[in-house]
Amino acid sequence: MSQCSQKYSGSGDELVQLGNQKKLMLSYESNEKLTWCSGCGDIGIRSALIRAFALEGLTKQQVALFYDIGCHGSEADKIGAYTFHGLHGRVIAAAAGATLANRNVKIIAEGGDGGMLSEGPGHLIHAVRSNYKMLFILHNNENYGLTTGQPSATSRQGYKMNSAPDGSPLAPLNVAELVFSLKPTFVARAFSGDVKHMTDMIRAGLNHNGFAFLEIMQMCPTYNKATPSDWYWDRMQYVNQLEGYDPSDMEAARKISMDLDEKIAVGLLYRDEASVPFYDRLKSREGMTTSPFEEVTHHDITPFLEELR
Amino acid sequence: MTRTTIKFCGESGSGLLTLQQIVTKAIKSLGFYLHADREYPSVIKGGHSMFQIDFGPEPIYSLSNVIDILVAVDSPGLVNYLQDTKEGGVVIHSFDRLERVSNLSKIAEEKKLKMVYVPARALALELAHTDLVANMVLLGFLWKVLGFELDSLEGPVTEQFKSKPKWLEIDLKCIHAGHKLNADVELLTFSPERPTEAPESILVDGNHALALGAIQAGVRAYYAYPMSPASSVLTYMADMANASGMVVKQAEEEITAAQMALGSMYMGTRAFTATSGGGYDLMTETLSLAAITEVPFVVVIAQRPGPATGIPTWTCQSDLNLAIYSAHGEFPRLVLACSDATSCYELIQHAFNYAEIFQIPVILLTEKLIAEAKYLVPPFEHGKIPIERGLVTDPEELAKLLSTDRYKITESGISKRWVPASAAAHYYTNSDEHLENGVLTEEADQCKAMIDKRMRKFDALEAALPEPTVLGVEKGADMSFVGWGGTKNVMRDAILQAKRQGRSINYLHFDYLFPLKTERLKQFFQDNSTICLIEGNFQGQLGELITNKTGLTFHKKFLRYNGRTFHVEEVINFEL
């Protein structure tokens, strides 16, 4: 069905590795039936996530997943791991508290365009600035799916939607443009129909030492008829296939991410290899080998009393 | 004379905070008991502010409204506080054109005040070429009036300015110059009673005590957004972070602070946030989330008068109802309230224990009065309150866990909790109503069973809480009060003073407010005849809670909601 001239080609190590990782992959299955619409982009994202965990050799005692409220949040009990399904707009803040408390597990936070760009953009802005160590996945399906298709900050202008019978009056927000204005340390983009590519982007994000921002442009077959699957396939451009593309060049990355209409850049847009996350900037934690969750005991306050005597 | 009361006043930004540090430390070093607090407007410069210190040879818990000595650093101070000075009291000022303000002279005359002009500004300009240090000249002079040795002042001044040697030299010169001034002979007879032996003590404000209590309790992460009067908890935590090893983060707003605290608690450490009523309003959705996910959660509300911005730098007890009834849905919670520095230190530790054992939100109330007032208290004890977490940590037990153990429907309502990733049995922490393993459900019977389970924790919690305590005589008092929070301080002073006058006052104090304990309360009503309510709010919120639950009613209600504290004289003279 795709008219896309390009195809993503990964490193090809999946098959070799998967032989050893089959059990791991199956361990992430849950007994709960999937409740998404057929053709929903969330199904592909879930598959990519499990594939990435298995390929990274991560057991379910090495990851913790945080979900916002929205269609993507239904994943919270559809994956066999420790999950936290919080409140609308707040997922990044809760995950930030978690990543600071436990340094031993990989923190993955997921949210939709509604929760992240309307209810809680402040959390996103300051998490990028703080560079909390986590992988954040933005499920961008350009509408409020769970409340039956109202326009979000990324909906196409003029497209008729629930609560916008004359078409959404606002121009869509380019979230990458917002994130680049905040001096991020990792920005990637992928499409929910391309599981193989998403898997690689998730793996890259899991290995980033800081806030890894991954935008997944997501199909919504029920409410978003403006940008169906083919629309994306026709426009995607894998940056790793562009000659001379340098993901350490933020200015180039920012520029190429601007276009959301003609050629949509996907892939690892930008990565700062020297990223230092918030926790590692804290003088109070210098040289500590334990995590805060391992340190709950009576801490002696008597030295502090001296100046009060 | 049992206590001496001195009020220092001036414009905001005139150095009163520095003066307070020095004076309280100096008085403490002389072996006195003391209590000190400050009042100031919500501006950094301009506007009048004051601090008051009450000291004497016996324990003092609250401020008197009978001012023995007023020290006015500048003319605005004099204008605003002259009328508060007691009849025949002493006023030390450096306002050389007093006679031009007819109103001031009139008040001074009517109250027979001893007005003492000190050329502090001129002296300061002469010694330091700036009038910024005029307050140090006044301080030196005050010490002469009080009959104190100057070395008791030199120590604290040296400590205060140790990092600024140039200023230290100037300040020491100024206090000496002030002390050398000739004063009216009559004034020198003013000499407070000296204590016989110095109590072993520390001088600490409530927010500092709370921060120390948190460190003691094993709190390893603190998140907050600045808001008076909670802001200094963040300052203290940040200043102590390098020594305590704590993660301290100023969040972008209160919602984030609450969510980060919850995220950290979920991951198995101890974390919390403190704010005032307005900031807490923003946090209430997180409280609700903590309740349904049964992740322990501790939040401190430092009360100031509302609604909205209200009277931001003043005190009150008007957020009890907010603490009890806030956040959507029905769930068990604990509300408790600090009363002084020691209780700040201890109750924050208990708050964490209750939050973790019962897996509930715990709201700890404090007040501007407690947050910033200086209390002279016995040094805080290490290891006195055990850390109780209610966590599964034994490797053998962890290995046997099932996912359904996490939210198991139990008799007590309490299920097993283990740190995420610590056991092979994973669970879902779900803000949707859920089954025993956290899987979402909307089935009627399953939802009811889980809600019933959570609500059963309320009964278990109520049974575990301590009863309120009686201060003063157990029964048959001439006048009885019931209250909570910082009111305990003024009641302690009132009980002592009334006793000296041959009258008996007693007071039933609640540390733990919700769920409300009623056994001791009912006994108190049986044992005493004239029971009044004393609260820093308009509605008499604890009174309503008591009446609703027990049917007991109060003889009278002593309520205050203008931002000011209760004074000991007002309590003693309360008309029945």
DSSP B360-397: -EEEEEEEHHHHHSEEEEPPPPSS-SPP---B---HHH
Which residues in B504-559 belong to E strands, given as ranges? 505-510, 512-514, 531-535, 556-559
pLDDT at B184: 58
CB spacing of A100 vs B249 below 8 angstroms: yes
Strands of A92-203 (E only): list them.
Answer: 106-112, 134-140, 186-191
| CA A265, chain centre distance (Å) | 16
Strands B505-510 and B219-224, bridge-based pairing: unpaired
Most confident of A8-17, A93-102, B15-24: A93-102
- Report whether pLDDT(A1) > 50: no
User: Which pLDDT belongs to residue A257?
Assistant: 97
Tell me the Ramachandran region of residue A80: left when phi exceeds 0, alpha when psi lies from -120 to 50, beta otherwise.
beta
| Lookup: tokens for A308 | 């009060």
Q: Which strands make up the sheet holding B219-224, listed edge to edge?
A: B247-250, B219-224, B270-275, B297-303, B361-367, B334-337, B512-514
> Mean per-residue pLDDT for A126-135?
98
B387 with A298: Cβ contact below 8 A: yes
- pLDDT for res B189: 60
Q: Crossing angle of helices A91-101/A121-130, nearest 10°? A: 30
CB atoms B202 and A309 under 8 Å: yes
Q: Which of B138-147, B254-263, B543-552 has the lowest mean pLDDT?
A: B138-147
Mean pLDDT of all residues in A272-301? 98
Q: How far apart are the C-alpha atoms of A119 and A121, rounded to whole Å?
A: 6
Mean pLDDT of chain B: 94
Contacts of A301 in chain B (CB under 8 A): 212, 215-216, 380, 382
Residue B269 — pLDDT band, cuts 50, 70, 90?
Answer: very high
Which of residues B79 and B172 earns the better pLDDT score? B172
| B365 bridge partner residues | B301, B337
CB contact under 8 A, A87 and B285: yes
pLDDT for residue A151 is more than 50 = yes
E strand or H helix at B546 = helix B541-550
Residue B535 per-residue DSSP state: E
Residue range B291-307, pLDDT digits in tens: 999 999 999 999 999 99
Q: Which residues of A touch B252 (CB under 8 A)?
A: 122-123, 125-126
Amino acid residing at A209: N
Are B263 and A303 inside 8 Å of each other by CB? Answer: no
Q: Are strands B33-39 and B48-56 parallel, antiparallel or unpaired?
A: antiparallel
Q: Which helix (H) or strand (E) holds A271?
A: strand A264-271
**Chain B residues within 8 A of A121 when measuring between CB atoms:** none
Give the residue-averaged pLDDT of A300-308. Answer: 95
Residue B98: band (very low, low, confident or very high) from pLDDT cuts 50, 70, 90? confident
What φ, ψ does residue A112 adopt, rounded to 5°? Answer: -100, 175
Sheet with B4-11: strands ordered across? B114-117, B85-93, B67-72, B4-11, B48-56, B33-39, B374-377, B202-205
Provide, as residue numbers in chain A, all residues whose Cβ is less than 8 Å from the Cβ of B251.
93, 126
Residue B18 has pLDDT above 70, yes or no: yes
- Put simply, the answer to whether A94 touches B260 (Cβ < 8 Å) is yes
Contact A80/B426, CB-based, under 8 Å? yes
Task: Return the pLDDT at B185.
Answer: 47
pLDDT digits (tens, 9 = 90+) for A72-122: 999 999 999 999 999 999 999 999 999 999 999 999 999 999 999 999 999
Helix (H, G, I), strand (E, B) or coil at B417: strand
* Residue A2: predicted pLDDT: 47
Which one of B216, B235, B403, B426 would you mutate to disrupt binding with A, by most A Cβ within 10 Å of its Cβ? Answer: B426
Whole-number Å distance between alpha carbons of B227 and A65: 32
**pLDDT tens digits for A220-264?**
999 999 899 999 999 999 999 999 999 999 999 999 999 999 999
pLDDT at B1 over 80: no
| Residue B145 near residue B70, CB atoms below 8 Å | no
User: What's the CATH fold of domain A31-308?
Assistant: Rossmann fold (3.40.50)
pLDDT at position A5: 58
Torsion sign (Cα): B115, B118, B119, B120? negative
Contact B212 A296 (CB under 8 A): no
Span B516-525, average pLDDT: 98
At B532, is the secondary structure helix, strand, or coil?
Answer: strand
Percent pLDDT > 90 in chain A is: 90
Which residues of B fall within a CB distance of 8 Å from A83? 426, 428-430, 438
pLDDT tens-digit series, residues B413-434: 999 999 999 999 999 999 999 9
Chain B residues touching A136 at Cβ < 8 A: none
Q: What local confidence, expressed as pLDDT, does residue A281 receive?
A: 98
Query: What confidence score (pLDDT) does residue A22 get?
Result: 84
Contact between residue B98 and residue B116 where contact means Cβ atoms under 8 Å apart: no
Q: In what order do the strands lie in the sheet with A264-271?
A: A236-238, A264-271, A186-191, A211-217, A134-140, A106-112, A63-67, A83-85, B428-430
Number of A/B CB contacts below 8 angstroms equals: 208
CA-based nearest residue in chain B for residue A100: B264
List the single best residue of B159, B220, B299 to mutate versus A (max A Cβ within 10 A). Answer: B220
For residue B517, pLDDT over 90 is answered with: yes
CA distance to partner chain A, nearest, from residue B213 (Å): 8
**Across residues B131-141, what is the average pLDDT?**
92
Task: Assess contact for B56 and B561: CB atoms under 8 A.
Answer: no
The average pLDDT across B79-93 equals: 88
Task: Report which of B391, B390, B412, B411 is spatially closest to residue B457, judged by C-alpha positions.
Answer: B412
DSSP labels for A19-53?
HHHHHHHHHT--SSPP-SPTT-HHHHHHHHHHHHH
Average of pLDDT values for B521-549? 98
What's the whole-number mean pLDDT along residues B231-239? 98
* A282, pLDDT greater than 90: yes
Tokens of B61: 């818990």
CA distances from A200 to A21, A50, A188 (A): 16, 12, 10
What ipTM goes with this model?
0.96
Highest mean pLDDT (candidates A60-64, B191-195, B197-201): A60-64
Q: How far is A243 from chain B (nearest CA, A)?
A: 40
Is the pLDDT assigned to residue B96 strictly greater than 60? Answer: yes
Domain boundaries, chain A: 31-308
Closest listed residue to residue B293, CA positions, set B465, B420, B203, B183 = B420
Three-state DSSP state, A233: helix
Mean of the per-residue pLDDT values for chain A? 94
